[in-house]
Amino acid sequence: MMKTGIPALDDHLHGGIPRGKSLVYYAYPGVECNVFGMQTMYRAVSEGGRGIYVTSSTDPRMIRDQFAEFGWDAAKYGDRFVIVDGFSGLVGANSSEQYVVSTPDDADSLTQAIKQVMEDMDEPSVIVFESLSTIMDLCGESATLDAIEEWNQYAMLYDHVIVYNFTAWPYSEDTLAHVKGDICNSVVLIGGIVEKVIFSQYFGVKKTDWDEVTKKCTLYKVLKPGGVRVYLPKILVTGPFDAGKSTFVHALSTRSVSVDRLGTTVALDYGHVDHKGFTADIFGTPGQERFDPIVKLLSGEAMGIFLILDSTNTGDFVRAKRMLEITESMGLPVVIVANKQDLEGALTPEEIRRELDMAHDAPIIPVVATSREGVFEAFDVLVDRVMEAGSI
């Protein structure tokens, strides 16, 4: 299996892309798609493999810079990072790459270069097409579709993995159906949620022929540096007064602010987390009962909830359960944070489970928010649960 380099996607693909198989990143115009192919390429070379990047709309001298923008140092991988230059020929520039497509608007010329590079690789490698749509624009739809079949067969012969970035411009319906349907072993849809403008991006596996498809869409953001990150637009942190909600939000976040007065939260805490391929916006609620209307207001459209408890303060546990009700979190993934574990008299997670009368599999994580102990464990568990729930 070759990994795509995007952990959540590798999960959806049941581990990655098997050798000899093809995958197309099929993107809605305007949604950032090339980074997917780049991340897959980078993953291959950084794991000691070989990657071949076929450029069609970018000067090859710029390719390594584009990778560097994501924090991926292509230069480090020397001749394991191979470029097939399908651009220079188009603008009449000279190329210093080893593999050059002499006439990029001729599918045969491309095929020649691609077969050559596939033969030359002495181990199964990953071939990434910067832009299949540009090739289609230059060579025509039917010639390109024929060529893809040929490339895929060749890749299968040599056990290479072949990956295409494709932007779904309004080509003929037939062409789009082919690209989205039968021509590759696997299709990953990359889409946008549109309301006047594209304001949110997601990916999801449409098809794999090596396993069952998990019908899940995952929101993502593209970070520079960083690449594709699964995005959780709203994670809620709630719990009784003084339990350590604000402290928890700050402990988790790379950026954060709180609207507090005299040490208690009166409006909200906001934090931004970037951790292990995930990026999330975290909203902390106030704890005092008089702010309950705000809690209700803040909790709309949350994807998951942290319930923060002061593990020494059993008197507040009833209130804690009440807060879960206020947030209308029925059915949402919840992680219980047993905070202040450093204090004497703190109950263990199992004692808390009994006190709260929680199900045996409800996650309760011991945490010391002031020293960040356990905060990322709690985050990982919640993210797992959210991903399992698999909502957009």
Ligand X SMILES: Nc1nc2c(ncn2[C@@H]2O[C@H](COP(=O)(O)OP(=O)(O)OP(=O)(O)O)[C@@H](O)[C@H]2O)c(=O)[nH]1
Site of interaction with other proteins (CB under 8 A): 27, 29-34, 56-59, 61-62, 65-66, 69, 87, 90-91, 131, 133-134, 137-138, 165, 167, 169-171, 192, 194, 196-199, 224
Decide if residue 265 touches Mg ion (CB under 5 A): yes
Decide if residue 59 touches ligand X (CB under 6 A): no
SS3 14: coil
Decide if residue 376 touches ligand X (CB under 6 A): no
Residue nearest to ligand X (CB): 287
Decide if residue 369 touches ligand X (CB under 6 A): yes
Residue nearest to Mg ion (CB): 265
The strand pair at 278-284 and 227-238 is best described as parallel
Q: How far is the CB of 150 from other proteins (least distance, A)?
A: 23
| Of 49 and 104, CB closest to other proteins | 104
Which of these segments, 19-27, 87-95, 321-329, 366-374, binds ligand X (CB under 6 A)? 366-374
What is d(CA 367, CA 121) in angstroms, rounded to the nearest whole number?
50
For the chain, list the strands marked E by DSSP: 22-27, 51-55, 81-85, 99-100, 126-129, 161-167, 186-195, 197-208, 217-223, 227-238, 255-261, 264-275, 278-284, 304-310, 334-339, 364-366
| Of 18 and 89, CB closest to other proteins | 89
Locate 269 and state its tokens.
């805490």
- Of 44, 128, 280, 368, which one interacts with ligand X (CB under 6 A)? 368
Decide if residue 21 touches ligand X (CB under 6 A): no
Question: What is the distance, to the nearest Å, from the Cα of residue 153 to the centroid of all Cα atoms in its chain?
Answer: 29
Decide if residue 241 touches ligand X (CB under 6 A): yes
- Of 111, 201, 247, 253, which one interacts with ligand X (CB under 6 A)? 247
| Of 40 and 246, CB closest to Mg ion | 246
Q: How far is the CB of 287 from ligand X (least distance, A)?
A: 3
What is d(CA 82, CA 369) in angstroms, rounded to the nearest whole number?
46
- Of 246, 253, 285, 329, which one interacts with Mg ion (CB under 5 A)? 246
- Of 89, 244, 271, 277, which one interacts with ligand X (CB under 6 A)? 244
What is d(CA 249, CA 252) in angstroms, rounded to the nearest whole number?
5
Per CB under 6 A, contacts with ligand X among 332-361 are: 339-340, 342-343
Phi/psi for 22 (5° steps) reads -120, 150
Contact between residue 228 and residue 36 where contact means Cβ atoms under 8 Å apart: yes
The neighbour count for residue 330, using CB atoms within 10 Å, is 8
Looking at the DSSP bridge assignments, the partners of residue 54 are 84, 129
| Of 170 and 263, CB closest to Mg ion | 263
What is d(CA 140, CA 133) in angstroms, rounded to the nearest whole number?
10
- Of 246, 313, 327, 329, which one interacts with ligand X (CB under 6 A)? 246
Which does residue 368 bind out of Mg ion, other proteins, ligand X, none, counting CB within 5 to 8 angstroms by kind? ligand X
Phi/psi for 70 (5° steps) reads -90, 5
Which residues make up the interface to ligand X (CB under 6 A)? 241-247, 264-265, 286-288, 339-340, 342-343, 368-370
